[in-house]
């Protein structure tokens, strides 16, 4: 069944809601209107091979969960699912009477600390990563092994490239052998020391992942000792790859918005991070999922970039501690009752298919 087919068979829809920023009361000019809902598979399809758990339109801003999948996610205290079940009445477009069998209070548990606050923690880590990417941008050109090599020089060390330039040496004219008992330390020789033959060079080329060794005549005296910071180079390569992937995949509009308020964080991302943290605390304190945000002004201030990044991180840490304490004191069960959820699912399917 396609999205269009589902919309044409509206009798299969059990719940149809406006979701996202509109439901949160956090919409601003230009905000998209998202929809979420619940459907039930036709009985014949349920008993056949073509099972469907979720249907969405091409832009993925209208998503419908099959009732079985919905209840399964509900037992896992999935934030999106709990929010959908608790959508404010003014944003509920249609609600089938069978939905009265599913009550949020029957499923709320201490798992919400992991799902709501845990997801918020993930977003905070992403925010720290974005902050680092913006404030310490990496050049387009990939550094080479040579940039992570250093030469012992005058009771200290200098970069290998600087040392080579000082003596007018080319790396291709040099040769290395390992210095025993020292990790990533090498003895360096130069072509001018040879009567015949040649060295392999320090690295095979700009894309090399390691230095390379040469055959050195016995008794030849080295002219320098170098260290290759291999761990540093590996970390750099990983971060460079992540940085380039971020540039390729980032939402340019969101990124320019981030730059415009000058705070070096994704303001919309941070707004939803604090929304999740506040909702997590409310669930522990009041056993209720409050979708329409009463803290709208505070959250929109975050979205507009009124807070410094470091202050937001401090506030997030403080809120995480409050959430932790709230769940330690909460009377919520440790997790939802799966047997009850299965019983509700069976009841809904039976009553629906019987008409």
Q: What is the pLDDT along the chain (355 residues), one digit of tens a residue?
A: 889 989 899 999 999 999 999 999 999 887 888 999 999 999 988 888 788 899 999 888 999 999 999 999 999 999 999 999 999 999 999 999 999 999 999 999 999 999 999 888 887 777 666 555 655 666 778 999 999 999 998 889 999 999 999 999 999 999 999 999 999 999 999 999 998 889 999 999 888 999 999 999 999 999 999 999 999 999 999 888 887 777 776 656 555 555 445 555 778 888 999 999 999 999 999 999 999 999 999 999 998 888 888 898 899 999 999 999 999 999 999 999 999 999 999 999 999 999 8
- Residue 276 buriedness (CB in 10 A; 0-12 / 13-18 / 19+): buried
Residue 188, classed as helix, strand or coil, is strand
Is 242 domain-assigned?
Answer: no
Is 83 domain-assigned?
Answer: yes
Rounded Cα distance between 64 and 169, Å, is 66
Residues 132 and 263 reside in one and the same domain: yes
Is 303 domain-assigned?
Answer: yes
pLDDT number for residue 116: 94
Q: Are 19 and 34 in contact (CB under 8 A)?
A: yes
Is 241 domain-assigned?
Answer: no
Say how many C-beta atoms besides its own lie within 10 A of residue 301's C-beta: 14
Residues 8 and 91 reside in one and the same domain: yes
Residue 293, classed as helix, strand or coil, is coil
pLDDT number for residue 276: 95
Q: How far is CA 213 from the centre of its chain?
A: 41
Residues 328 and 352 reside in one and the same domain: no
Identify the domain containing residue 305 by its residue range: 108-137+251-333
Is 323 domain-assigned?
Answer: yes
Whichever domain contains 83, its CATH number is 3.30.460
Is 245 domain-assigned?
Answer: no
Residues 214 and 159 reside in one and the same domain: yes
pLDDT number for residue 122: 81
Residues 5 and 130 reside in one and the same domain: no
Number of domains in the chain: 3
Rounded Cα distance between 344 and 137, Å, is 53
Residues 279 and 151 reside in one and the same domain: no
pLDDT number for residue 252: 60
Three-class DSSP labels, 71-138: HHHHHCCCHHHHHHHCCCHHHEEEECHHHHHCCHHHCCCCHHHHHHHHHHHHHHHHHHHHHHHHHCCC
pLDDT number for residue 216: 94
Residue 7, classed as helix, strand or coil, is helix
Say how many C-beta atoms besides its own lie within 10 A of residue 74's C-beta: 23
Is 27 domain-assigned?
Answer: yes
Is 174 domain-assigned?
Answer: yes
Q: For the chain, give percent helix, strand, coil, nearest 5.
A: 50, 15, 35
Query: Which two structure tokens, joined as six digits, stand for 47?
Result: 């008993």
Residues 169 and 310 reside in one and the same domain: no
Distance of CA 130 to CAs 16, 116, 255, 269, Å? 35, 21, 10, 11
Residues 224 and 263 reside in one and the same domain: no
Residues 80 and 206 reside in one and the same domain: no
Residues 55 and 190 reside in one and the same domain: no
Residues 211 and 347 reside in one and the same domain: no
Residues 2 and 74 reside in one and the same domain: yes
């Amino acid at each position: 069944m396609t999205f269009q087919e589902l919309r044409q068979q509206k009798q299969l829809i059990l719940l149809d809601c406006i979701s996202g920023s509109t439901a949160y009361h956090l919409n601003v000019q230009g905000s998209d209107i998202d929809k979420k809902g619940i459907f039930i598979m036709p009985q014949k399809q349920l008993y056949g091979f073509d099972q469907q758990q979720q249907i969405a339109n091409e832009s993925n801003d209208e998503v419908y969960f099959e009732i079985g999948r919905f209840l399964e996610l509900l037992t896992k205290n999935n934030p999106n699912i709990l929010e959908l079940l608790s959508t404010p009445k003014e944003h509920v477009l249609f609600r089938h009477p069978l939905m009265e069998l599913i009550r949020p209070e029957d499923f709320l548990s201490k798992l919400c600390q992991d799902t709501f606050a845990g997801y918020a923690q993930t977003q905070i880590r992403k925010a720290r990563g974005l902050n680092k990417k913006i404030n310490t941008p990496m050049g387009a050109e990939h550094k080479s092994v040579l940039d992570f090599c250093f030469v012992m020089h005058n009771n200290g060390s200098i970069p290998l490239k600087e040392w080579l330039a000082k003596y007018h040496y080319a790396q291709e004219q040099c040769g290395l052998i390992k210095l025993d008992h020292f990790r990533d330390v090498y003895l360096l020789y130069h072509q001018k020391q040879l009567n015949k033959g040649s060295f392999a060079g320090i690295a095979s080329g700009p894309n090399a992942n390691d230095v390379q060794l040469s055959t050195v005549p016995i008794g030849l005296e080295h002219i320098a000792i170098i260290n290759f910071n291999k761990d540093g180079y590996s970390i750099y390569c990983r971060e460079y790859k992540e940085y380039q992937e971020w540039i390729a995949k980032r939402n340019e509009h969101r990124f320019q918005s981030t730059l415009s308020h000058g705070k070096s964080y994704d303001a919309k991302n941070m707004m939803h991070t604090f929304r999740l943290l506040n909702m997590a605390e409310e669930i522990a304190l009041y056993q209720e999922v409050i979708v329409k945000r009463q803290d709208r002004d505070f959250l929109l201030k975050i979205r507009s970039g009124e807070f410094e990044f470091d202050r937001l991180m401090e506030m997030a840490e403080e809120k995480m501690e409050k959430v932790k304490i709230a769940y330690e004191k909460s009377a919520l069960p440790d997790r939802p009752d799966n047997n009850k959820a299965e019983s509700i699912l069976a009841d809904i399917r039976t009553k629906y298919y019987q008409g």
